Amino acid sequence: MSSAQDPFYVVREEIQDSIDKLQHSFHRWEQTASNTGEYVHLTKELLTNCESIEWQVDELEKTITVASRDPAYYGLDEVELSRRRNWTVSARNQVGTVRRAVEKGKSNSAISKHQDLTGASRNNYYSTQDNDDFISSESDRQQLLMRQQDDELDELSESVQRIGNVGLTIHDELNSQERILNDLSFEMETTSNRLDFVQKKVAMVMKKAGIKGQILLIVFLVVLFIILFVLVFLT
């Protein structure tokens, strides 16, 4: 089976696309100030995407484990299995690096925000109107972020559904191959039995005919072959 038709590579391509998008969002996150609503939104988005990709990699590793029990049955070898395992390890490391960086940034942002709120409370008497404006603006921003997050969750749900459909395709393909192999095995066994029967019959005939009879039988078969050849190719 070629790489373009192998379900593993189909799933791997989708996961790699998700990792590329994750890396792009991570670079945006690194360049965003930690005291903004966009930073909070990107943090939640990155952690959600990390969890989704890690789940997809887990499912892909399960298929590799199944295939490693009988590689020949799935048309694989140890080199290919090792290549697939190495890719899943690399994918997991990429996602893990992003997750750890985001979680650390989230913790630092929470500490910084707490310090900012503590300092602001000392000057609350002088900035009541400013705080009201900030709360109103922040509320509007949070509503916008919530709508964006709902859209992204819908997209994530569709991606998970596609991964599930690919898994079902892999399952159906394996069942189909198993049925084909079973049918082939049955046909080979039937043909072998028929061949044994014919060989035994021929041996019995040759034994009963004796040497003279065997010679006559050979001559008859040669003549029959010549007649059939003439009828098929010269008429």
Q: What pLDDT score does 29 carry?
A: 92
Collapse the DSSP code of 34 into the 3-class scheme (helix H, G, I; strand E, B; otherwise coil) and give the result.
coil
What integer best gives the mean pLDDT of the chain?
Answer: 79
Indicate the domain borders of the chain: 1-111
Q: What is the pTM of this model?
A: 0.48
Q: Quick one: pLDDT at residue 54?
A: 92
- In the chain, % helix, strand, coil (3-state, to 5) comes to 90, 0, 10
Greater confidence (72 vs 161) lies with 72
Specify whether the backbone of 77 is left (phi greater than 0), alpha (psi in -120 to 50) or beta: beta
Residue 108 structure tokens: 């630092």
Confidence of residue 112 (pLDDT cuts 50, 70, 90): low
Q: Determine the pLDDT at residue 89.
A: 94
Strongest mean pLDDT among 38-42, 160-164, 174-178, 189-193: 38-42
Task: With beta carbons less than 8 A apart as the criterion, state whether 98 and 22 touch.
Answer: yes
Instruction: For residue 126, name the pLDDT band (cuts at 50, 70, 90).
Output: very low
Cβ contacts of residue 174 below 8 Å, gap of 6+?
Answer: 74
**Which has the higher per-residue pLDDT, 215 or 131?**
215
pLDDT reported for residue 114: 45
Burial class (CB in 10 A: 0-12, 13-18, 19+), 84: buried
Answer with the residue of higher pLDDT: 112 or 75. 75
Q: Higher pLDDT residue, 118 or 169?
A: 169
User: What is the percentage of the chain residues whose pLDDT exceeds 90?
Assistant: 27
Task: Give 66 or 205, the one with higher predicted confidence.
Answer: 66
Instruction: Tell me which of 66 and 139 has the higher pLDDT.
Output: 66
Q: pLDDT tens for residues 200-216?
A: 766 666 666 567 767 77
pLDDT mean over 129-144: 65
Q: State the fold for domain 1-111.
A: Methane Monooxygenase Hydroxylase; Chain G, domain 1 (1.20.58)
Of the two residues 27 and 212, the one the predictor is more confident about is: 27
